[in-house]
Structure 1
């Protein structure tokens, strides 16, 4: 049996506490050492909730024998912390958004390659039950030739949305929305976007729409919102012989926030009840599409295998550069009102 990868977590806000710590603690392939945080409040939380030590810096974590670190801190700190961790020889998982722009994303991936240290991005939504089910339907030909991908991450008002350090809705939800669109439909040639910028000193966007024209002919329409009074369907994906529609969101986030984990749920982890399955619709006919199990729990075992040199990282960091390039174009389009063409 391969020795578990000794890994720490940087940051213990919402993402670190709910999206990373339970999955790290549940993965037998990982030896979860503790959390890097300088906040006294967070250090107390770590001691109470994890029974693991808190470290004052990445250097202190590395000195404690860590081989890797998952970074789940405010968006503006991602690139500096990733580059520091790579310089310490730590393999890195970086939460989304990977970087605030494509230039710094590209520079960071190039640094990883020069140093020969593994780097990946936590695009957990690739392992949502609905997206896994969609890919199965597309691969089987159940929808025919794919024509349009509609995807939403919309939250009910009056949720205040991410703080200013989160980078805004375009970067926050957009990182997942664009990544899924690129995985499903491939490279993009044209980008159009609209957004609402909220009043106040942060001036961040809290409601965005992005339209992508993919080089293969598919169109993606993507919505992200923290101010939506009536969220639309999570997915509506059309092909030449049918459409797949899912109303609600994947249940793994709710499980983690509620205190469950892959360790506590076992084989039940990620299972969607039948009433939450999506449908394949063909005209007036609709039939349920059994949902694949959501599989966020696969990410860290796959990352550990990559650190041991047994497989590639679960998300190629160059995919994050491609996503950042599209998000840069969307920001330009939302600001100018023009369609932005991307180079081949």
Structure 2
């Protein structure tokens, strides 16, 4: 055995990751892979000391809608980019991870922040507003809005919910030359829930249906933008490449550390703070 994937409930992951590292195994840990930034750095240090790879499963860099948006941006279709809006509302109250080590910011928020860092680069400041409710397991954030101010001057606006009986995934991008809007079906996740796997139809896997293709609007008019392929399986291929060939690991623990629980406290402390304090967990 070369590696393990840890997908157990969040409160159990630290011990299991440390056990796997101690056994000399490479590890993919589901997010959030640690209850705090400090805990994340502990796991990162343990992996480094043992000489094994620790990656965090931020598979949503490989979403079809994000890959399509990245192509629109990189192709210069929008001109100089001003801002990006990312909304993910899920009608899934039963899946909210309750208590002080849970919450929606660590769950969906870690994905949405990681996508924007991957798409737009480093962030210099963040604003955070969280919606809380009191549960038997403790106070829990059940929704959020975030504004990330990127070093490039672009800003991104992220929001998510699970309790508000809404089901909507939308990406919007605004630039000097126009706009791009897409409402997607989360096609790979839905396929996996239905029991399908990429190996059953690799060439046809992970494409948003035409009814969910984005619309690019510029001075030239409106055009549909064909969906890029979503490829969650590329994460695992890159992980295997890192193990066997020494290539860079996909989504390292150090990268995930930028999305720590410190953002959860920004509404009650300082509404704006440098990223290294709000997201990286530094004092």
Q: Give deviations 1:142-175, integer Å, cap 9, x for gaps.
A: 111221121122113x733323277110100011
Larger radius of gyration, structure 1 or 2?
1
Q: Give deviations 1:3-28, integer Å, cap 9, x for gaps.
A: xxxxxxxxxxxxxxxxxxxxxxxxxx
Does the 8 Å CA contact 2:89/2:169 hold for their aligned counterparts? no
Q: Please give the alpha-carbon distance, in whole angstroms, between the structure 2 residues aligned to 1:179 and 1:292.
A: 19
Q: Please give the alpha-carbon distance, in whole angstroms, between the structure 2 residues aligned to 1:200 and 1:112.
A: 35
Partner-residue secondary structure (3-state), 1:163 = coil
Q: Please give the alpha-carbon distance, in whole angstroms, between the structure 2 residues aligned to 1:283 and 1:172.
A: 39
2:96 matched to 1:162? yes
TM-score w.r.t. length of structure 1: 0.75
Does the 8 Å CA contact 1:233/1:248 hold for their aligned counterparts? yes
Residue matched to 1:341: 274
Residue matched to 1:25: none
> Alpha-carbon deviation of 1:232?
5.1
Partner-residue secondary structure (3-state), 1:336 = coil
Does the 8 Å CA contact 1:212/1:221 hold for their aligned counterparts? yes
* Within-5 A mapping of 1:1-344: 66-156=1-91, 159-164=93-98, 167-202=102-137, 203-231=139-167, 233-282=169-218, 285-324=221-260, 327-328=261-262, 330-336=263-269, 338-343=271-276
Partner-residue secondary structure (3-state), 2:125 = strand
Does the 8 Å CA contact 2:131/2:142 hold for their aligned counterparts? yes
- Alignment RMSD, CA only? 2.0
TM-score w.r.t. length of structure 2: 0.90
Where does structure 1 lack aligned partners over 5 or more consecutive residues?
1-65
> Alpha-carbon deviation of 1:342?
3.4
Q: Give deviations 1:255-274, integer Å, cap 9, x for gaps.
A: 01111111222321112221
Partner-residue secondary structure (3-state), 2:245 = coil
Where does structure 2 lack aligned partners over 5 or more consecutive residues?
278-283
Partner-residue secondary structure (3-state), 2:134 = coil
Q: Please give the alpha-carbon distance, in whole angstroms, between the structure 2 residues aligned to 1:144 and 1:231.
A: 31
Partner-residue secondary structure (3-state), 1:304 = helix
Length, aligned pairs only = 275
Does the 8 Å CA contact 1:98/1:105 hold for their aligned counterparts? yes
Deviates more, 1:280-289 or 1:136-145: 280-289
Q: Please give the alpha-carbon distance, in whole angstroms, between the structure 2 residues aligned to 1:301 and 1:214.
A: 30
